[in-house]
Amino acid sequence: MSLLSDLVNLNLSDSTKQIIAEYIWIGGSGMDIRSKARTLPGPVSDPSKLPKWNYDGSSTGQASGDNSEVILYPQAIFRDPFRRGDNILVMCDAYTPAGDPIPTNKRHKAAKIFSHPNVAKEVPWYGIEQEYTLMQKGMNWPIGWPVGGFPGPQGPYYCGVGADKAIGRDIVDAHYKACLYAGIGISGVNGEVMPGQWEFQVGPVEGISSGDQVWVARYLLERITEISGVNVSFDPKPVPVSILTHSNSHHMHSGAHCNYSTKTMRNDGGLAVIKKAIEKLQVKHKEHIAAYGEGNERRLTGKHETADINTFSWGVANRGASVRVGRDTEKEGKGYFEDRRPASNMDPYVVTSMIAETTILG
């Protein structure tokens, strides 16, 4: 094993100028992250200088077998914390050979929205709070939970310390540092309300880069849990509701709250702009809910710090509302607001661009 470890950690710069680029894309389910590696003749820092590549879309649910070639367009480059050196991670989106975005390519539409002059001049910032649950490998059961049993009531786990409360901290810390190394704007991590559940925050990040960074942060988490021998779940209700009804664990759900501001909102008088934006979100509530993640109805019940999925609400410092405005924003008369509706398995390209489209272009 020591030889294998030595080879995995081999510094290629000692013997070659070539680098390894890991191309990353989103598969047919909308949540399955795929990647493959290729050799390049030397370091690259501009994604437009990278070659396009292809893959078998019939094996990812994105093309038929008789016309299976899908083309990867490199869009963003990150440092590779696994191979290090000049090696890179490349976030891509997917197109047909004719150059049309395939149906599961959500980045393409998002990029169009963010490049709209009215959106670009508002410099939209996002902060995504990504919750997730670490699961026992081979079992649909969170780590730290007794097999076939339930943890104690909510209380000691949120931001908790200790072997019986902070389950999986080594994975969380490894992921935190990997994101920083990669160049992702990760701003923090914390333990959440149930054992094995954690959160990381990415932001503030501007426009389309928010989606790129959240997806690569998810990729890094998948790779680190792969190494650690556990699974990661982004399901908004990772333990079936039918099981939870027989326990004290109704509160156990995962979201991806989206904090949002525009240049106008951040300037003096911005609170009035925030209130107008919230009114626009209310009008489009059903459309946003439909795009905010699969299975969100199991999470947005109107209980346990969630709003009812069918009813839009907002308030200052109200964590049971659809949209929350912070006390500091109210006091200063400017700042940001938090859309608490997105599920943990939401597509950040869809959510961020949809909020901008509704509040700026709507």
- Of 200, 141, 136, residue with least CA distance to 174: 200
Averaged confidence pLDDT in the chain:
94
Please report which confidence band the pLDDT of residue 241 belongs to, taking 50, 70 and 90 as the band edges: low
Q: How far apart are CA 277 and CA 356, in angstroms?
A: 9
In this predicted structure, what is the pLDDT of residue 119? 98
Structure tokens at 180: 């920083």
Chain segment 63-76, per-residue pLDDT in tens: 999 999 999 999 99
In this predicted structure, what is the pLDDT of residue 120? 98
Chain segment 112-158, per-residue pLDDT in tens: 999 999 999 999 999 999 999 999 998 889 999 887 788 878 889 99
Percent of the chain with pLDDT over 90: 83
Chain segment 249-278, per-residue pLDDT in tens: 556 789 999 999 999 999 999 999 999 999
Higher local confidence (pLDDT), 322 or 9: 322
- Assess whether pLDDT exceeds 90 at residue 60: yes
In this predicted structure, what is the pLDDT of residue 251? 61
The three-point CA angle 40-43-46 to 5° equals: 100
In this predicted structure, what is the pLDDT of residue 244? 60
Q: How far apart are CA 6 and CA 2, in angstroms?
A: 6
In this predicted structure, what is the pLDDT of residue 147? 79
Percent of the chain with pLDDT over 70: 97
Q: How far apart are CA 217 and CA 185, in angstroms?
A: 9
Task: Say if CB 340 and CB 257 are below 8 A apart.
Answer: yes
Q: 136: alpha, beta or left, given left = phi > 0 and alpha = psi -120 to 50?
A: beta
- Which stretch of 28-32, 101-105, 135-139, 228-232 has the lowest confidence by average pLDDT? 135-139
